[in-house]
Chains A and B, each alone.
Chain A
Amino acid sequence: MKKLKRRTTSTLIMAVLLVTVFVTQAGAVDWLAEEDISNMPSTTIRYWYYETPEMTALGKLEKEKFEKLFPNIKVDARTAPPAVDNWELMSFVVGGTNSHIHHSVNNESLWYIDHDMLFPLDRLPGFAEELNRFEPQMTWKWKDGHSYALPWYGATTMLMYNKEIAQEVGLDINNPPEFYDEFLKWAEKLTEKDASGKTVRYAAAIDPREAWWRFIITGYNLYIAATGSGDYISEDGTQVTVADTPLQRKPFEFIYELVEKGYFTNEIYKVNPVYGGLTAINWNFSAETIFDVKRNAPPGFEYFLGPYPRPKESPVERFVGRLFVRELVLMRERFLRGEAGDRVNRAAWEYMKFLEADEQLAGMFKAEGMLPCIKTFETDPLFTAEIEKYGAPLGQLLEARSGAVHMDLNSVKTTEVQGALTLLIVKLQQGVDPAEALAWAVEEGNKILAE
């Protein structure tokens, strides 16, 4: 009898619990699937503005605008701490203070995916339409069948020549050099020595400092222009392939030759040396440089652009450089669970879509020259009026961007190998024989990959 009573009581409790769970669930909203979040209970998301003053000012305006559109969503915003990537970001992630929308790049994003830090965007409403707005070339496809990022801005670089110097030494500014032999002739003419034999102007400067990413600026474009590919690691991820073929070795031999002949300096400049005529070529001209010229170049300073030189045997035509895509990823809410966590992730997605809307992208382009990755960038009047203001250089950059190679850093290891490749360039600058320097870089890179 007692047993029966106990069983009845426990059955009743179970039933009550089940009914409660059912009723609660039936009333609950699956916010992750919800199209409209205007009736979402008050939710706060975190966002870090891009570090520059212009972007911070723009970010503040965007936050205000978004909070007017969605009064129920509060954006707890601040300027991003400096240089917070990968491991530096961890203290913020573990402490629960990181931005829910992170300005990322493919190699970092893959690392975040490996650590289960990103929310898959394809699980969120409207993702397919959103993705469809962007140039496929600039959209990254992720390895596990999910999409985790939307491209934010895409940049490529070219060579910028000081027009006055080039004209002064009798060079045809309408035909900048394309191949190594032509470039060497130009470099010789652009380099100037005084009566005592001291070089007073170099053709170009390659910064000798050692942050891992410097290779992307100093050697990677030449490597891509020579080989037509950004790959420098074997498909199985075990070997550095940067010196496998004569064509792959060419750009490094070329840098060595330019330094050896005294055309390139490894001086560290704090201001673009092309402006003052200390060098004649800027190795890393981007859309942002157009703004920099306006701010920092002397009045009347004029320039023209050219491609990264390549060997005659190169399989590529005209311009090939790297395409750098800054993307937005949704950093998963780690501390709030269940419905509260879902709300934060969903609200952050709404803010990400807002940041990617045409109006905000136009604001970003106007503020800092960051080129949006949307398909309509070169046709939509919202952008075209602004594009026209920057004239031919921007047109050339956009043309170059359409054929550029998406920078392929698909793991932390590939990033670390770039550290070794940066040192390879420094070795060449210090006069180390290219064969020896390449052998060192390959050995060092292979050690990193074997770890």
Chain B
Amino acid sequence: MLGRRQKWDKVAIIFILPWFIFFCSFTFYPVFTALLVSTNEWNLFEGTFRWIGFSQYLKLFHDAKFYQCLWNNFVYLGIQVPLSIFGGILIAVLLNQKVKGRIFFRGIFFLPIITGIVVLVIIWSWMFSAGGGVINYFLGKVHLPPVPWLIDPRWSMPSIALMKVWTDVAFYGVLFLGALQGIPQSLFEVAKIDGASQWHIFWSITLPLLNPAIVFAVIMGTIWGMQIFTEPLLMTEGGPLGSSTPLTLFLYRQGFTWGRYSYACAIGIVTSLLILLFSIIERKFIERVTLY
């Protein structure tokens, strides 16, 4: 018995080893190095470290720019995550109907995910143009004033979040469609026999059974939202006046533009801890309000 177990362990180790090496090289080692660098002054050329304690963390907690960037992330999360998930559920429910050409529509809705980010940024920048953009054109058609989407500090981050809603709705749509198709049809049939309305079925059966997928979507949406980088860098460079600078772009500029490695690592560590904290809170909260 013991011999078999030992043999199984060796096989398991062989299977786990590639992932373990990858994890140590690209997760554990960078996190450890980031912790080390955040508490030391690092001479890159000599490879030497000088202990500076937690001064960079103290500096960070007194830096108004850090709070501005954190707020920007909150604005982004507050718009992007709920709208994407809501839109995703809506699309999934629609695509789950037995309508003609639903395979085609599934493909169409998936297109934003496979489109390159630079292409999306260029197209959306045109669409967001305050003077000649298509969005303001349609707003004008319904007698609404033009919005300075990317060039006004109040609108820059919401604009980026809206653009990301468009791409992420597709992803969440596919996610929820998979979850929907996993729900036993018998539950819907029984509800129909009992005379439940479509809305009642959705509220009492579909939504509660989608809950695990929603928990996943909210947590992953938050993690990805905290990591937003390319879109603000390409669309606004974090402006105007830092209004669309997320923590990741703040970190990047401190580290790679101004060479403040210790400070950048401190930002990275704090951001990671914030993501962890948000994920725990969200999980506890959503699991508590589960409807079944």
Contacts and interface: CB of A to CB of B under 8 A. Distances in A.
A266 B240 contact: yes
Interface in A68-87: 86-87
Interface string A109-127: 0000001100000000000
Contact of A209 (B45, B237, B256): B237
Contacts of A266: 151, 240
A430 interface: yes
B153 A87 contact: no
A94 B259 contact: no
A278 B126 contact: no
B115 interface: no
A416 B238 contact: no
A94 B131 contact: no
B165 interface: no
A426 interface: yes
A423 B65 CA distance: 13
B87 interface: no
A210 interface: yes
B45 A268 contact: no
A11 interface: no
Given A210-B242, A278-B132, A430 B237 contact: no
Contacts of B256: 87-88
B274 interface: no
A94 B237 contact: no
Contact of A412 (B130, B235, B241, B259): B259
Interface in B216-249: 235-242, 245
B183 interface: no
Interface in B159-212: none
Contacts of B45: 94, 115-116
A152 B275 CA distance: 47
Given A208-B151, A430-B240, A199 B126 contact: no
B257 A87 contact: yes
Contacts of B122: 270
Contacts of A278: 131-132
Interface string B99-130: 00000000000000000000000100110011
Given A87-B256, A94-B44, A115-B45, A267 B241 contact: no
Nearest to A209: B237
A183 interface: no
Interface in A262-298: 265-270, 278
A87 B240 contact: no
A268 B151 contact: yes
B259 A267 contact: no
A87 B241 contact: no
Interface string A22-38: 00000000000000000
A278 to B, nearest CB: 7
Contacts of B150: 268
A214 B258 CA distance: 16
Nearest to A265: B131
B143 to A, nearest CB: 12
Given A94-B44, A199-B131, A86 B259 contact: yes
A90 to B, nearest CB: 6
Contact of B240 (A90, A200, A412, A429): A429
B interface, how many residues as a size bin?
20 to 34
A426 B239 contact: yes
B237 A210 contact: yes
A87 B255 contact: yes
Interface string A48-92: 000000000000000000000000000000000000001110100
B258 A210 contact: no
A153 B241 CA distance: 33
B37 to A, nearest CB: 13
Contacts of A1: none
Contacts of A427: 241
Nearest to A210: B239
A429 B242 CA distance: 14
A268 B125 contact: yes
Interface in A168-207: 199-200
A4 interface: no
Contacts of B238: 209-210
A211 interface: yes
Contacts of A116: 45
Which of B129, B151, B235 has the most CB atoms of chain A within a 10 A radius of its CB?
Answer: B151
B292 to A, nearest CB: 48
A430 B153 contact: yes
Nearest to A212: B257
A388 to B, nearest CB: 36
Contacts of A412: 258-259
A244 to B, nearest CB: 24
A426 B153 CA distance: 10
Contacts of A210: 236-242, 245
B44 A90 contact: yes
B101 to A, nearest CB: 34
Nearest to B245: A210
B239 A208 contact: yes
Given A88-B256, A412-B259, A208 B240 contact: yes
A203 to B, nearest CB: 13
A402 B151 CA distance: 36
A277 to B, nearest CB: 11
Contacts of A87: 255-259
A441 to B, nearest CB: 12
B131 A267 contact: yes
A107 B237 CA distance: 22
A281 B201 CA distance: 61
Nearest to A196: B140
A83 B256 CA distance: 11
A427 to B, nearest CB: 7
28 contacts: A86-B257, A87-B255, A87-B256, A88-B256, A90-B44, A94-B44, A94-B45, A116-B45, A200-B131, A208-B239, A208-B240, A210-B236, A210-B237, A210-B238, A210-B239, A210-B241, A214-B237, A267-B130, A267-B151, A268-B150, A268-B151, A268-B236, A416-B258, A423-B242, A426-B239, A429-B240, A430-B153, A430-B241
Interface of B: 44-45, 122, 125-126, 129-132, 150-153, 235-242, 245, 255-259
- The 6 A-B residue pairs with the shortest CB-CB distance, nearest first, are A209-B237, A210-B239, A87-B259, A210-B237, A208-B240, A266-B151
